[in-house]
Amino acid sequence: MLNIRPYLTTTSGGVSEKYLKTAQTVYGDVTVVSVDIHNRGPQSLHPDRAVTLRLSGDFEDLRGYTAIYMYSDYWSRPQFGTDLCAVPDRTQGLIVEKTDGTYAFFLPMVSDDYKCDLCGGEDGLCAVLFSWYDKLQNCTAPAFCYACGDDPFALMEQCARVGLSVLGRGGKVRAERRYPEIFEYLGWCSWDAMQIRVNEEGLVSKCSEFAEKQIPVRWSILDDMWAEVRPFWDAEYDTFGDMVGLMHSSPLYSFEADPRRFPLGLAHCIDRMHDFGMTVGMWHPATGYWRGIDPDSPLFSEIKDLLIQRPDGRWIPSPEPGKMYLFYQKFHDFLKACGADFVKIDFQSCMRAHYRGIEPIGRTAKTLSSAIEASVGVHFDGAIINCMGMASENMWNRMSSNISRCSDDFKPEDRAWFKKHILQCAYNSFVQGQFHTCDWDMWWTDDGQAVKNSVLRAISGGPIYVSDQLGRSRAEILRPLALDDGRILRCDRPAMPSKADLARDPEHSGAAFLVQNTCCDGRCGVIAAFDLSEEDTAVEGAFAPSDVWGLEGADQYAVYEYFTGEWKIIGVNDVYRFTLENQDDFRLYLLLPYVNETAVIGVVDKMIAPLTVTRITDDPADCETSCHGRFAYIRRGELVILEK
């Protein structure tokens, strides 16, 4: 059990232990810590720091930790350390590696009224509950769950399951959620290609390019901003920052597409894209547009009763459950009537910015997620990409939607960005991946990091989509990721760091950074290796098949490297060692069960080759595959490659 010293803070600033109780309830290997406050004073609990729990226990004897924390209202990233006093504010998940080689995992929860975050304090680790609402005097709520043991990945999954069960809202862990079929195929997004000047002719030209190059992209997103936003008209900007400033200061004038860029309307554009066999998704923020709804528009007159005005003047969807649902229903009625097939909804972690002081955080987040999922379920059969929604109030309150972005925006032609991107995606996935399939964002097939990025998407376990500009898509970069019909070769679950990297800083570890996953329902393993060292020097790497979480079923494995074709047979606990020469050196290893002196690799023109095998036979040469190419297997110590 943890040692807990609780304090409450009121709006007058007073701190007290009176009337505050804590409880630790054990559910198998998981303990849920809850609080019970009955504040008898005249003051309400402080909206930003109602309750502070100072924690201590055997987890303080640590080798290192990784904290997943919100560095903005919308995005999270990892911070590494060895001193729990330095755990950053707004931490949403904490993995601690103890000196005895075991782990502790802490997962803060979001109740009906309160949100819990972790942070460092003068004496060590703290949990803080808050509501962003100044009219609450009581608090009876779960704060966080934690578990200790040898298997950190199992601890994470168990905490999420128990937490969802304790909240009792019917929420499911990721493995129990339906993955929309359309995202099993290659996609494209207009954002980095066209940004806010997205237009019908450009979209149709991109569809035509895919057809001409025989690139089997099957879906497209019309991203920010296809709809009518009057401040865009004749606006000029010199820098990306100026453009973002224009976007964030602009309200939505109409659900209809911008008449200058889509002169025949949204439905006409979607029809033309459908003619290419393209499924079409529509982007919009949770608030309609970044600055809400334009009060001078006909749209405002039509839906005013569904909106509220904030002190800064913007009009946004009302937090009343019925009204918020009707807002999305009307928006999605229009999109569906135009032929849209799915949506990407951005700006979901907007509770503090837009609804602070109106209702407690838990209630508002529940209303938002319920309204979005209900409307998307009715209109698009649940097909949605959630975005800018990495805050814990979003994760705990989405009941069914499966896919959510796990990094902030991809930056093309930016070598330094790659490190930040891979760290965000991989480490965010060990918290967010318990609730959602993680979307590692769009990317370009022709920038300097294209192949590296293709490896990340191959192992990610999530959707794969690019944002290439017109004329710049490279078929040879995408072909290793998908079959001829565009179906991606998708791994089993969200990719996560190796066990060795969970609680250490990859930029200063002196070792290769490993991202691991499985495919073929856990029968085969996949490991991607990168040099993220601070200095661009050679690093050593090492792994055993047993390091891949969920890999099971064999005593020996064939290790096959995609780029070099090198291979080796090792035992499940044997260590495979390699060297990366610099930051431009990276590897993709497949781990195939070696049984009866045979390992079937698959079509090695594809990165996740085992997923190309549709039927394994006693004679590996007779195995059936889902595509043509160089089919490889290992038999009695010999690598055999055939043309299929």
Output the pLDDT for position 43: 82
Output the pLDDT for position 37: 84
Output the pLDDT for position 193: 96
Whether domain 506-643 has CATH 2.60.40.1180: the reply is yes
Percent of the chain topping pLDDT 70: 98
Output the pLDDT for position 14: 65
Distance separating alpha carbons of residues 611 and 562, to the nearest angstrom: 14
pLDDT band per the 50, 70, 90 thresholds, residue 534? confident
Using the predicted structure, report yes or no on whether residue 325 has a pLDDT greater than 80: yes
State how far the alpha carbon of 547 is from the alpha carbons of 266, 280, 465, 500, in Å: 50, 40, 29, 8
Pick the CATH number of 185-428 from 3.80.30.20, 3.40.1390.10, 3.30.420.40, 3.20.20.70: 3.20.20.70
Convert the pLDDT of each residue in 452-506 to its tens digit.
999 999 999 999 999 999 999 999 999 999 999 999 999 999 999 999 999 999 9
State how far the alpha carbon of 644 is from the alpha carbons of 558, 613, 621, 623, 631, in Å: 21, 11, 9, 10, 6
User: Which of 432, 364, 363, 374 lies closest to 399, judged by CA?
Assistant: 374
Would you say 19 and 39 are in contact if contact means Cβ atoms under 8 Å apart?
Answer: yes
Output the pLDDT for position 19: 65
Average pLDDT over residues 378-392: 98
Average pLDDT over residues 381-386: 98
Q: For the chain, give every domain's residue range.
A: 3-168, 185-428, 506-643
Which residues face 144 on adjacent strands?
A: 33, 108
The angle at the Cα of 371, spanning 366 to 377, to the nearest 5 degrees, equals: 120
Using the predicted structure, report yes or no on whether residue 13 has a pLDDT greater than 80: no
Burial (CB count <10 Å: 0-12, 13-18, 19+), residue 329: middle
User: Which of 473, 436, 438, 404 lies closest to 173, judged by CA?
Assistant: 436
Convert the pLDDT of each residue in 76-122 to its tens digit.
999 999 999 999 999 999 999 999 999 999 999 999 999 999 999 99
Distance separating alpha carbons of residues 177 and 435, to the nearest angstrom: 9
Give the pTM: 0.96
Output the pLDDT for position 381: 98
The neighbour count for residue 266, using CB atoms within 10 Å, is 24
- Which one-letter DSSP state was computed for residue 353? I
Output the pLDDT for position 535: 83
Average pLDDT over residues 172-188: 97
Average pLDDT over residues 594-622: 97
